[in-house]
Amino acid sequence: MFLILCAFSVIASFALLLFWLKEFRPLKRRNVYLEKLNENLLSQISEKEIVLERYKSKREDILNVVESTITNERNRIAYELHDDTIQRLLAIRFRLERLTWYSLPDQIEIEINSLRNELNDIVKGIRYLINKETQAQFENETITQLIEKLLTKFKPIFFPKISFTTYNAESEFAISPNVKKELFHLAQEVIQNSVKHSAGTELTVNVLWGERLTIDVSDNGIGFLSSDKEGIGRRTMNERAKRIGVTIKNVKRIGGAQIQIILPKADLNQFVSMSVGN
């Protein structure tokens, strides 16, 4: 009996040994393989991270060069504007001022003083641009007031008749200064185009408030020409409109031209944080 138990124990031990050799040794080899593979992967990741850091560093260097170039060019333009354009404008203002030393008809003196004030405003505007600041008028005045003042400047010069009307003024909603600036320059471009090219005798500007702001500019001139090409003015208008979410609509009509600038109230929130330099 004892011999049988011993023989059974030996057989069981041998069986366990065979099972270990069969099952666990390949597993150990597999673990060794996986460890080496993991080390290789970690090494590759480390190498890629080094390469990525190099690319990041190069990218930052390139961005710094680009930013420095833009800053230098902006400063160059600012200096040129200050030393050349602004000085020439001031010289014109002084020459206009000298004209008032002579005996002139009252109407001419009024016009000279108006031109002097306009030159002062232009100089201020250029200085605001140089300093990357928003002009005070866009901070303190509504778009309705800005357009009305613009039309007042045109009245004694171009059209025999200019009419301006505001509708639903009680529904007027707030517009951030930067959006207001873009909107004003859009309206200014449309009005000036009508003044310069329409050959009309009447200009009508309506400002309509509601769920959207509509600036409607119409004249009784020659209308839109099929030969009109997209110049820098129209490209600038399209870029401004895109920046602030405005739609520019050419309304078909018999006789004259009609353009609507439409700013939805719901779209304003995403443009409130626009940078001053845009």
pLDDT at 21: 53
pLDDT interval class at 46 (50, 70, 90):
confident
pLDDT value, residue 275 = 38
CA triplet 230, 234, 238: central angle to 5 degrees?
120
Q: What is the mean pLDDT of the chain?
A: 79
pLDDT of the residue at 152: 85
Cα angle value 141/261/144 (rounded, 5°): 20
Token pair 């200014």 in the structure block, residue = 188
Q: Which one is predicted more confidently, 172 or 266? A: 172
**pTM score, two decimals?**
0.59
Q: What is the pLDDT of residue 28?
A: 62
Q: Give the residue extent of every domain in the chain.
A: 1-133, 139-278
CA-based nearest residue to 175, from 165, 188, 184: 184
**pLDDT tens digit string along 139-188?**
888 999 999 988 887 776 666 688 999 999 999 888 988 899 899 999 99
Spatial separation of the C-alpha atoms in residues 127 and 141, rounded to whole Å? 19
Structure token digits, residue 202: 């009447």
Of 158, 167, 166, 161, nearest to 197 by C-alpha is 158
Q: What is the tens place of the pLDDT at every residue in 97-141?
A: 888 888 888 888 888 888 888 888 888 888 777 776 667 778 888
pLDDT of the residue at 103:
84
How far, CA to CA in Å, does 208 sit from each of 54, 100, 118, 173, 224?
56, 41, 28, 11, 23
CATH of region 139-278, choose from 3.30.565.10, 3.40.50.300, 3.40.50.620, 3.40.640.10: 3.30.565.10
pLDDT of residue 30: 66
* Res. 63: pLDDT tops 70: yes
Q: What is the distance between the alpha carbons of residues 183 and 232, in angstroms, rounded to a whole number?
A: 17
